[in-house]
Amino acid sequence: MTALLEVDRLQVQFGATAAVRGASLSVARGETHCLVGESGCGKSVTALAVMNLLARGGERKAERLAFEGEDLLKLSERGMARLRGNAMAMIFQEPMTSLNPAYTVGSQMTEVLRRHKGASQRAATDRAADLLARVGITAPGLRLGQFPHQLSGGLRQRVMIAMALMCEPKLLIADEPTTALDVTVQAQILRLLAGLQRDLGLGLLLITHDLGIVARVATRVSVMYAGEVVESAPTAELFAQPRHPYTQGLLRCVPVPGKIQRDQPLGAIRGTVPRVGHGFAGCAFRERCDFADETCQRTIPRHSAGATHDYLCRLPA
Amino acid sequence: MTDAIDVRHVAKTFAVGKGRVVAVDDVSFSIPAGGVLGVVGESGCGKSTLARVILGLLAPDSGEVEIEGQKIAGLDRRARARLIQPVFQDPFSSLNPLTRIRDIVALPLVAQGSLGRAKIARTVDEMLSRVGLSAEMGRRLPAELSGGQRQRVAIARALVLRPRIVVCDEPTSALDVSVQAQILNLLAELRRDLGLTYLFISHNLAVVEHVASEVAVMYLGRLVERAPTERLFAQPEHPYTKALLASVLTPEPGLGVPDVGLGDTMPDPANIPSGCRFHPRCPIAEPRCATETPPFKPRPAGGVECLLVP
């Protein structure tokens, strides 16, 4: 069976900066794949490259970039525009900047369906109201007539989700959808996303820096560092047996409620992420790694730690 | 013994349009010297306003704040700066982009007006190395530093006058987890070595559990529960505290996302509900919660404000 989304050795450059350096991942139907990493690791750029929404100056290259078997690299902008917001939809972190402040919620939501499916205004409004109710918004009729600034952050994020679902997408890419929200609202939104994903059989690519979110919603996790996927595994396996020293370090950094020893320092990763440009060779984590030796400056092999678990490090499994 | 911070009946509202927004409503607490009080709550609960009142940056409408037995309202800026200092959330906007790191850290010393140049230079060097920055970093501009390094600069600036109390307002929220751990460890180490008292504001409950000795939970301007950290996390009493704790997503696979049970009514500080202000979202609210004001029920080293707890 072909995956819904296949990304093979994606590279994205902005001038001399290599933002993504050979990242591969795939998303199957009904799967939640979490892409996790710290700021600047290339996780958002990966998503934007898939949607062909890179900022000016961004160049993408890949061995393969396919949605339902269709080659996205060969698709014209017009063809891409037919897919975007239709079969593949995206939700961004800050709903205030991605909703148009000058249009009502209703007109933004219905536009998607009218444009992609040629639906009547009436039918589109009905569907918008249905979806708003579905994402847990009470009085959807009232909300349709309101402007984004009249809604709270949690409501705006729900509107974004409902809008992304208007055309029944098969793939939903959500880039830090709950980072700007309070923990209580975050839990509500994630619960909602997980439920929708299950009911609609969506493939969900969820980008986050929060390992708590990853643990609770992902079926599969890919950890990115300095533009590369350094480890990829089923969720339970990644948390139980992380192989890459960076993944191990990340897991030690997170205080776990109930297991906190207050007088003990948290595990931290020393140093900072290096700037990686053209011609960089070897492991980008080596300066911060306790296991690094001189061989880490050469090309690093990808090791397998099971049929569905691989990592990029010289250390054997 | 005098408490490091004593906050008594502090209230603060802001005029917005025709109405008033209630930010802090009759809040009282104290922090013993050397303690860390974590303050948690959702956006708009008044935790940052409370921090500003305690720092003396905002005058309360009523009530007073004492720092080591002295009323802050009666202190001049220099004396206040020697007692209490802030570390803010965003090290990108809290450092002057055109000023070199050394001069940023030196400013509080220069502002005291009584110290010689050589003494200032020596103190700055000491402070930079104390927070883990090289002297070479001191010659750079904020833009040349990473987020974690900038937050170290903000900490150095806060501590250079050797204050007794530091108010940390979301000090790691803008940082990546690996860097957050570095900064939390640094703050813990400095507190031990310098005998500091912290007021630590955060929306991240795991971080608060890690650093705080006591926790205060705020909801729409009220302090609804206060307890020693271990008790608050093990036996929360207020339904809001329970909901907050339930919504923390620990990195434990397989547990799924919990149902917090708060509904979709959002707290609005411009429109405070009658009775218990949490009742529209409370999963166990009874009719009387909408009309009766919940009393504060004291507990050892804390208390809870809810009609429904014994």
State mean pLDDT over B55-80.
93
Tokens encoding A19: 């933002």
pLDDT at A188 over 80: yes
Put simply, the chain A residues between 66 and 125 with a CB less than 8 A from any chain B CB are none
For residue A280, name the pLDDT band (cuts at 50, 70, 90). confident
Q: Which class for A298: exposed (0-12), middle (13-18), buried (19 or more C-beta within 10 A)? A: exposed
Nearest residue to A43 (alpha-carbon basis) of A224, A274, A220: A224
Spatial strand order of the sheet with B62-67 comes to: B19-31, B5-16, B62-67, B70-71
Q: What is the pLDDT of residue B55?
A: 94
pLDDT at B105 over 70: yes
CB-closest option in B149, B178, B233 to A250: B178
Cα A276 from Cα A287, distance rounded (Å): 12
A215:B250 CB<8 A? yes
Q: CA end-to-end span of chain A, whole Å?
A: 29
Q: What is the pLDDT of residue B1?
A: 61
Q: What is the pLDDT of residue B103?
A: 95
Give the CA distances from residue B74 to residues B59, B78, B79, B130, B306, in Å, rounded to whole numbers and listed in that order.
Answer: 11, 12, 10, 32, 35
Cα B1 from Cα B5, distance rounded (Å): 12
User: Any idea which of A214-218, A247-251, A272-276, B102-106 has the lowest mean pLDDT?
Assistant: A272-276
The one-letter amino acid at B305: E
User: Any idea which of A107-116, A183-192, A293-302, B261-270 has the lowest mean pLDDT?
Assistant: B261-270
CATH of domain A5-87+171-273: 3.40.50.300
State mean pLDDT over A192-208.
89
Give the CA distances from residue A129 to residues A105, A106, A126, A181, in Å, rounded to whole numbers and listed in that order.
Answer: 10, 8, 5, 23
Chain A residues touching residue B260 (CB < 8 angstroms): 184, 187-188
B257:A216 CB<8 A? yes
Q: What is the pLDDT of residue A1?
A: 55
Nearest residue to B277 (alpha-carbon basis) of B303, B239, B236, B309: B239
Q: Do A290 and A261 contact (CB within 8 A), yes or no?
A: no
Chain A residues touching residue B239 (CB < 8 angstroms): none
Chain B residues touching residue A155 (CB < 8 angstroms): 264, 266
Q: Between A245-253 and B177-194, two packed helices, what is the crossing angle to 10 degrees?
A: 50
Q: Is A155 on the interface with B (CB under 8 A)?
A: yes
CB-closest option in B146, B206, B229 to A272: B146
CA dihedral B282, B286, B290, B296 (to 10 degrees): -80
B266:A154 CB<8 A? yes
In DSSP notation, chain B reads ---SEEEEEEEEEEEETTEEEEEEEEEEEEE-TT-EEEEE--TTSSHHHHHHHHTTSS--SEEEEEETTEEGGGS-HHHHHHHEEEE-S-TTTSS-TTS-HHHHHHHHHHHH----HHHHHHHHHHHHHHTT--TTGGGS-GGGS-HHHHHHHHHHHHHTT--SEEEEESTTTTS-HHHHHHHHHHHHHHHHHHT-EEEEE-S-HHHHHHH-SEEEEEETTEEEEEEEHHHHHHS--SHHHHHHHHT---S-TTS--------SPPP-TTSPPSSSTTTTT-TT--GGGGTSPPPEEEETTEEEE-SS--
For residue B2, name the pLDDT band (cuts at 50, 70, 90). confident
pLDDT at A260 over 70: no
Q: What is the pLDDT of residue B267?
A: 78
Q: Do B178 and A268 contact (CB within 8 A), yes or no?
A: yes
Cα B149 from Cα A104, distance rounded (Å): 42
Phi, psi (degrees; rounded to nearest 5) at A71:
-75, 110
CATH of domain B5-305: 3.40.50.300
B177:A38 CB<8 A? yes
Q: Using DSSP bridges, classify how beta strands A88-91 and A171-175 pair: parallel, antiparallel or unpaired.
A: parallel
A255:B209 CB<8 A? yes
Q: Is B205 on the interface with A (CB under 8 A)?
A: yes
Task: Give the H/E segment covering residue A204.
Answer: strand A203-208
C-alpha Rg value of chain B to the nearest Å: 20
CB-closest option in B42, B207, B256 to A184: B42
What is the pTM assigned to this prediction? 0.87
A251:B251 CB<8 A? yes
For residue B228, name the pLDDT band (cuts at 50, 70, 90). very high
User: Distance (Å) from the C-alpha of residue B211 to the closest C-alpha of chain A?
Assistant: 6
Nearest residue to B72 (alpha-carbon basis) of B22, B4, B162, B169: B4
Residue A1 has a CB neighbour count (10 Å cut-off) of 5
Q: Which class for A189: exposed (0-12), middle (13-18), buried (19 or more C-beta within 10 A)? A: buried
Cα A242 from Cα A236, distance rounded (Å): 10
- Cβ contacts below 8 Å, chain A against chain B, sum to 144
Q: What is the pLDDT of residue A136?
A: 78
Q: Do B199 and B5 contact (CB within 8 A), yes or no?
A: yes
User: Which residue in B235, B241, B264, B282 has the most chain A C-beta atoms within 10 A of its own C-beta, making it the best mutation to test that interface?
Assistant: B264
Residue B132 has a CB neighbour count (10 Å cut-off) of 16
Nearest CA in chain B to A190: B257
Nearest CA in chain B to A255: B206
User: Distance (Å) from the C-alpha of residue B37 to the closest C-alpha of chain A?
Assistant: 14
Q: What is the pLDDT of residue B111?
A: 93
Instruction: Calculate the average pLDDT of chain A.
Output: 90
A47 or A153: which leads in pLDDT: A47
B259:A191 CB<8 A? yes
pLDDT at B237 over 60: yes
pLDDT at A145 over 60: yes
> In whole angstroms, what separates CA A137 from the centre of its chain?
24
Q: Is A217 on the interface with B (CB under 8 A)?
A: yes
pLDDT at A64 over 70: yes
Q: Which class for A14: exposed (0-12), middle (13-18), buried (19 or more C-beta within 10 A)? A: middle
User: Any idea which of A260-269, B18-27, B29-38, B228-237 has the lowest mean pLDDT?
Assistant: A260-269
- In this predicted model, what pLDDT tens digit does every residue of B154-172 receive, in sequence order? 999 999 999 999 999 999 8
DSSP helix/strand/coil, A4: coil
- In this predicted model, what pLDDT tens digit does every residue of A26-35 receive, in sequence order? 999 989 999 9
- The domain limits of chain A are 5-87+171-273, 102-166
State mean pLDDT over B106-115.
93
Q: What is the pLDDT of residue A135?
A: 82
